[in-house]
Structure 1
Amino acid sequence: MASTTPYDLVAIGRVGVDLYPLQHGITLDEARTFEKFLGGSAATVTVGAARHGRRAALVSATADDAFGRFVHRELLQLGVDDAYLQTISGGPPTPVTFCEFFPPDRFPRWFYRYPTAPDLLITPESLPLQAIREARAFWSTLTGLSQQPSRAAHAAAREERGRTPLTMLDLGYLPAFWLDRDHDADAARAEARSRAWEALPYATVAVGNLEECELVTGESDPRRAARALLAAGVELAVVTQGRRGVLAMTPSEEVFVDGFPVTVVNGLGAGDAFQAALVHGLLAGWDLARVTHFANVAGALVAGRLECSTAMPTTAEVQALLSDVELADGAL
């Protein structure tokens, strides 16, 4: 049962099951064995926040099926409140995502969400509006705007929350969510850009990789992209660039952090770990340099692990690695 105490983080969006092959460097048709994990960016971000000791809840939906039961069980075991995870009967199944692993930078995914998925069927009437309004941080992603009725639900959540501090928009763009019979690649990108600009006036924090920020702002330079996001009204713009580092910018401050060296196993969960750590640091009131360094290392840690949700690091794990680096650099 959900607590009456405000959550540190409420996230809305995608949830499902990741089925990852245990053989790497080969295609799915050659893979022999798989392991299942809790998946979906919104779910993973809440797990990441919980690993940092934050009270987190997920607003989403599954089907009334075996994978749906798995999702509920895993969320609870990983410390996330599932009180707002709906179960939708008679509709599409809980989605499954497959991936191939070609480290360090190629991880093609296949989303089995046909013709839609339960997490895109959440409605404005089903939202926990009080929890969304009172949460210390609220997180949503661009993919939740790709279909109705999810798009309307996200709009209702934005209206309820307004521009409350730490209202976060993930600019993650997954083409498979936008491509349909009415949208070729260019039309899909244009639609996603339009939906992002509808959501940005409500966001105080926007986060995306360079390609995603370019899609939204039209700017391929990280600093120009960050400035464009600030001009849209956000108070903190973060542009991640993988091994090339992270740029974080406010109207009065700019921080750039070099990429953290890691042997990449799976790059798919790094962004979620980064954003969960960003939530933790911002809630803790850390300065921009500290929170950016912390989030950068959290993302790198997960990039060096196979899974996403259960790979989310604890605060102690991140801090230990940061301390090692500071000692090596002579900073302490």
Structure 2
Amino acid sequence: MSHPSARTSFDLITMGRVGVDLYPLQTGVPLAKAETFGKFLGGSPANVAVAAARLGRSAALISRTGADPFGDYLHDALRGFGVDDRWVTPVAAYQTPLTFCEVFPPDDFPLYFYRRPKAPDLEIHADELDLGAIRDARIFWATGTGLCEEPSRTATLAALAARGRRGVTVLDLDWRPLFWGGEGGASGHGGRTGPAAMAAARPHYAAALAHATVAVGNADECEVATGERAPWRAARALLAAGVELAVVKRGPEGVLAVHRDGTTAEVPPVEVDVVNGLGAGDAFGGALCHGLLAGRPLERILRFANAAGALVASRLSCSEAMPTGEEVEALLATAATPPGGAGEPGVPGETPRPSGEDPRPSGEAPRTEAPRTEVPRS
């Protein structure tokens, strides 16, 4: 996997799972009744790379596939989206993962992972990494799923440590309890859920957060990493764990971001007619990277990322649905124009909250959240 003679500096390198998404082309139909399916590139880190590439960024993926026709398809798809696949290598012993979903808009998208006996993307080895390229990337993006099994866990931590907290190093908290259940993740003893699974995962998240400068996650994911679900407490716990910027996705309540320098931003979601919520969080991630690379104000970054996620939620596929910058700006302009009025198109500038100010009472209890369109990610 190492290519010391082919050094290229990328805007973004993501690391983690890749697979084939097989989505029914009928909505509101259970898999048992579905007759036709669309085949798409899937896997959250792969989708984040595609999202960034769609926005004009140079992106690469570190992952592994099976040595099979589906693996060949993923290479073709990555190249077609403009994502460098030099660090996506085959594993002869395992098959390329498949993911099926059911599509019940607006908020029910069950996922069925086929990753047995083990997914090849968990066979990333630390001694095969091109650490020079990882250090040189302007942004490196790793995921919590990469921590669930060896050798991927050691490789993920080695990649994060190699960054030395340079540039932007993102940990996508990416909690998949099914993948923490023993050999093969989704195989063996099956996935565990609840406090026991979180307790087993938390030390590995803590080790990763110590090397990250940005953490991104929803309430469940923040609870795994920090023990906190309430947005402000979760954000502060992530800062205490070592990151510079904590981004807490709140589904229908929008998104909160808190920076170590005291800058904060809260923005509402962009309302769309949801077709398939899968992949919306990955579009958000790619757009977040795009905004950080551009040095935009925090509020503007979040508004742009929210709109990117909303566009994907309004479409069927994940990777193929990732929007261009022009599409995102058009949606933002429409959302900023009130019905019957001219409005002010574009994205407002950042209005930082004074350092330490928190509008929520100190005794805020953990919330039970409404369904989120961005939670399910392939």
TM-score range (shorter-chain normalised) is over 0.9
Whether 1:79 and 2:92 are equivalent positions in the alignment is: no
Structure 2 SS opposite 1:267: coil
Cα displacement string for residues 262-320 of structure 1 (whole angstroms, at most 9, x for unaligned residues): 11111110110001000000000001011011001001111111110111111111011
Residues 177, 192 of structure 2: 8 Å contact kept: no
Greater CA deviation, 133-142 or 174-183? 174-183
Whether 1:206 and 2:215 are equivalent positions in the alignment is: yes
Q: 1:183 to 1:308 in 2, by over 3 A?
A: closer
Report the equivalent of 1:41.
Answer: 44
**1: CA distance, partners of 2:289 / 2:190:** 36
1:241 positional shift:
1.5
Structure 2 SS opposite 1:29: coil
Whether 1:263 and 2:266 are equivalent positions in the alignment is: no
Residues 111, 176 of structure 1: 8 Å contact kept: no
Q: Which amino acid in structure 2 is aligned with residue 178 of structure 1?
A: W
Structure 2 SS opposite 1:49: helix
Cα displacement string for residues 175-230 of structure 1 (whole angstroms, at most 9, x for unaligned residues): 21112339732332222222111100101000001221122222221111111111
Report the equivalent of 1:132.
Answer: 134
**1: CA distance, partners of 2:180 / 2:107:** 23
TM-score when normalising by structure 1: 0.96
Q: Spell out structure 1 runs of 4+ moving beyond 4 A.
A: none
Number of aligned positions between the proteins: 331
**2: CA distance, partners of 1:303 / 1:95:** 23
Structure 2 SS opposite 1:28: coil
Report the equivalent of 1:18.
Answer: 21
1:167-316 equivalences under 5 Å are 167-180=169-182, 181=189, 184-185=192-193, 186-251=195-260, 252-316=262-326
Report the equivalent of 2:162.
Answer: 160
Structure 2 SS opposite 1:144: helix
Q: 1:182 to 1:61 in 2, by over 3 A?
A: closer
Residues 120, 150 of structure 1: 8 Å contact kept: yes
**2: CA distance, partners of 1:52 / 1:61:** 25
Q: Which amino acid in structure 2 is aligned with residue 135 of structure 1?
A: A
Cα displacement string for residues 132-171 of structure 1 (whole angstroms, at most 9, x for unaligned residues): 0100000010001101111111121122112112100001
**2: CA distance, partners of 1:263 / 1:222:** 26
Instruction: Return the match for 1:331 from 339, 344, 354.
Output: 344
Q: Which amino acid in structure 1 is aligned with residue 214 of structure 2?
A: V
Q: Which amino acid in structure 2 is aligned with residue 50 of structure 1?
A: A
Cα displacement string for residues 86-138 of structure 1 (whole angstroms, at most 9, x for unaligned residues): 1122x110000000111111111111001211110010111111110100000
Q: Which amino acid in structure 2 is aligned with residue 212 of structure 1?
A: E
Q: Which amino acid in structure 2 is aligned with residue 134 of structure 1?
A: D
**2: CA distance, partners of 1:22 / 1:287:** 39
Whether 1:319 and 2:321 are equivalent positions in the alignment is: no
**1: CA distance, partners of 2:104 / 2:232:** 30
Structure 1 SS opposite 2:278: helix
Q: 1:276 to 1:262 in 2, by over 3 A?
A: same
Cα displacement string for residues 229-270 of structure 1 (whole angstroms, at most 9, x for unaligned residues): 111111110011122111111121111101110111111101
List gaps (5 residues or longer) in structure 1: none
List gaps (5 residues or longer) in structure 2: 183-188, 346-378
**2: CA distance, partners of 1:285 / 1:293:** 14
**1: CA distance, partners of 2:322 / 2:251:** 17
TM-score when normalising by structure 2: 0.85
Structure 2 SS opposite 1:327: coil
Name the structure with the higher helix share: 1
Whether 1:94 and 2:107 are equivalent positions in the alignment is: no
Q: Which has the larger radius of gyration?
A: 2
Superposition RMSD in Å:
1.5
Report the equivalent of 1:118.
Answer: 120
**2: CA distance, partners of 1:4 / 1:128:** 9
